[in-house]
Structure 1
Amino acid sequence: MRAFAIALAGLATSAPAQEAPSGALSCTGCHALGAEAAMPLGGRSAEEIAAALAAYREGTREATVMDRIARGFTAEESQAIAQWLADHAAKE
């Protein structure tokens, strides 16, 4: 757990000037922002990310843990997270 907190702290210091919405940096614990990663978010639009979060939240997209994670955010929070991730990944 301590290693995860240290990793998140490192991500926070390399974040762009725009402050990340609550929850956005935790996504990068599993999903890299670069397009070459195993579970990439890089290269995806905010609309794609928000739609995926909505589908997980509604239970219409198969998931192992993302359905539970997505239910923790409102549609507005999901949109803000998606926009931040898409903007951040574009700068990677």
Structure 2
Amino acid sequence: MGIRVPAMVLAVWLLPLQVSAQATGPSGQAMAQTCYVCHGPAGKSDGPIASLAGLPRDHIVRQMADFKADRRPGTIMNRIAKGYSDEQIAAIADFIATLK
């Protein structure tokens, strides 16, 4: 029982650090940088992959949710979408929707 008390105390003590790290995680703008590899600089594709710039936020969120849940087929987007939380997807969509 002596081991459990210090472990609980440590867990409670570390919880605010975890929440703080999540709150100060990468911004939507920073996370969107990875999208540009395939979707073109600033989300403007010159190739066969869709441009993202200016798409409505809700459209982006819906498409990412569909990729994440395997409701939409994709080559790599399904795996990429699974790597983001719903909050991160929303932050990325918020930023991408501002691009022109």
Partner amino acid, structure 2, of 1:28 = Y
Q: SS of the counterpart of 1:23?
A: helix
Aligned counterparts, 1:1-92, within 5 A: 20-21=27-28, 22-32=30-40, 33-34=43-44, 37-38=46-47, 39-87=50-98, 89-90=99-100
Partners of 2:92 and 2:54 lie apart in 1 by 15
TM-score under structure 2 length normalisation: 0.62
Contact 2:67 2:81 in 1 (8 A): yes
Q: Answer 1 or 2: which has greater helix percent.
A: 2
Distance 2:27 2:86 in 1: 16
* Structure 1 portions without partners, runs of 5+: 1-18
Q: How many residues align?
A: 70
Structure 1 or 2, whichever has the larger Rg, is 2
**What is the CA–CA distance in structure 1 between the aligned matches of 2:76 and 2:57, rounded to whole Å?**
21
Q: Distance in 1 between matches of 2:37 and 2:80?
A: 13
| Structure-2 residue corresponding to 1:4 | none
What SS class does the counterpart of residue 71 from structure 2 fall into? coil
CA contact (8 A) 2:64 2:81 kept: yes
Note the aligned Cα RMSD (angstroms): 1.8
Deviation at 1:23, TM superposition (A): 2.2
Q: By how many angstroms is 1:48 displaced?
A: 0.7
CA shift, 1:20, in A, is 4.2
Q: Residue type matched to 2:85 in 1?
A: T
Q: What SS does the corresponding residue of 1:26 show, helix, strand or coil?
A: helix
Q: Deviations over 1:39-82 (max 9, x none)?
A: 20023111111111000000000111000000000111101001
Query: TM-score, structure 1 length as denominator?
Result: 0.67
Identical aligned pairs, as a percentage? 29
